[in-house]
Structure 1
Amino acid sequence: MNIFFGAVFLFSIILDQITKKWALTVLKNGSSIKIIKDFLRFSYVENRGAAFGILQNQIWFFVIITFIMIIFLAYMFFKYKNITNVSKLSIVLIAGGAIGNFIDRITMGFVVDFIDVRFGNFYDFPVFNVADSFVVCGTILLIILMLFNKFEKSENINE
């Protein structure tokens, strides 16, 4: 089973890096590609902050926080033997996404974002990337598991 989690982890990082290289090659010149009219387009953005552009130009803060988070996630994944496979999957998704953005911060000094979701003229969601999607999906899954007490395997107590 650990081979599966390792494959998901590597896939999340590789897919993220491939899509960002594509964005750098195709979109960096300022072009934007409409995918779904007035809803989804690909537009190049250099994000020097965190989600929604907060904490701009704090690269070392993000490097340190990401490093600490990866150590914590690895500890949870390998130390706790009683967590469910879905919990492990959520941890792997978060870690893979975090490392994808970590690679950008270390190599370029910013994170490449390019997925641009808009709700017509009503709302323009902040531009994000594949790594962000993995982090968000993994986090939502982890929260759901914890809320419904499904993070750990049930212990059968025979009385």
Structure 2
Amino acid sequence: MLLYTAIIILAVILDQLTKWLVVSYVKPIGSLPIIKDVFHLTYTENTGAAFSILSNKQSFLVIVTAIAMAIMFVYLVKWSQSPDEVMSKVAFAMMLGGGIGNLIDRARIDFVVDFLDARFINFAIFNVADMFIVVGCALFALSIILKK
């Protein structure tokens, strides 16, 4: 369980640290081009879930996210007793860490700070927690495919 706890803590720390840096240094200027028209750091307040769905439904999002995180954590604790399916458990820990990172924002400031702006593909602005969630989902899907 130590590995999975470390992944969760790492995800939360990286997410919250990068958001703090963006609020401190990028928010005052709005956007910071890293590679012009390719990748920017752009401060955004997301009041919804992924791709801004359920905008301005913070109480609902906090409750649903907290319940989902609690269920995932209990499942991971029980599941971690088995030495099997390490990839799946790492994936779960990544998703859990990302979910907690965004939950902290929603509970504390009523929105999620997004800032990673991949302009070359005209994609939604996202954050480190979102990356942990997406990579965790992909890793979980891969573990299912490899298991068959």
Instruction: Choose the corresponding residue for 1:130, options 108, 128, 131.
Output: 128
- Which structure has the larger Rg over C-alpha atoms? 1
Could you report, residue by residue, the CA deviation over 1:80-139 in whole angstroms, capped at 9, with x for unpaired residues?
A: 3444111111011000000000000011000000000012xxx42110000000011001
Report how far residue 3 of structure 1 moved. Answer: 2.0
Could you report, residue by residue, the CA deviation over 1:58-94 in whole angstroms, capped at 9, with x for unpaired residues?
A: 1111111111211221232122344411111101100
Identity %: 40
SS at match of 2:54: coil
Q: Who is 1:84 aligned against? A: 85
Alignment of 1:54 with 2:62, yes or no, is no
Q: Who is 1:44 aligned against? A: 43
Counterpart mapping for 1:6-85 below 5 A: 6-80=5-79, 81-82=81-82, 83-85=84-86
- In structure 1, the gaps of 5 or more residues are 151-159
Report how far residue 41 of structure 1 moved. Answer: 0.7
- In structure 2, the gaps of 5 or more residues are none
For 1:146 and 1:87, locate their aligned partners in 2 and report how far apart those are by CA, in whole Å: 8
SS at match of 2:147: coil
Residue identity matched to 2:140? L
Tell me the TM-score normalised to structure 1 length: 0.85
- For structure 1, which segment, 45-54 or 80-89, has the greater mean C-alpha deviation from structure 2 after superposition? 80-89
Q: Who is 2:107 aligned against? A: 106
Could you report, residue by residue, the CA deviation over 1:3-28 in whole angstroms, capped at 9, with x for unpaired residues?
A: 22221111110110010011111111
Residue identity matched to 2:18? T
SS at match of 2:27: coil
Could you report, residue by residue, the CA deviation over 1:18-58 in whole angstroms, capped at 9, with x for unpaired residues?
A: 10011111111233211123211100000000111111001
Superposed CA RMSD in Å reads 1.5
Residue identity matched to 1:20? K
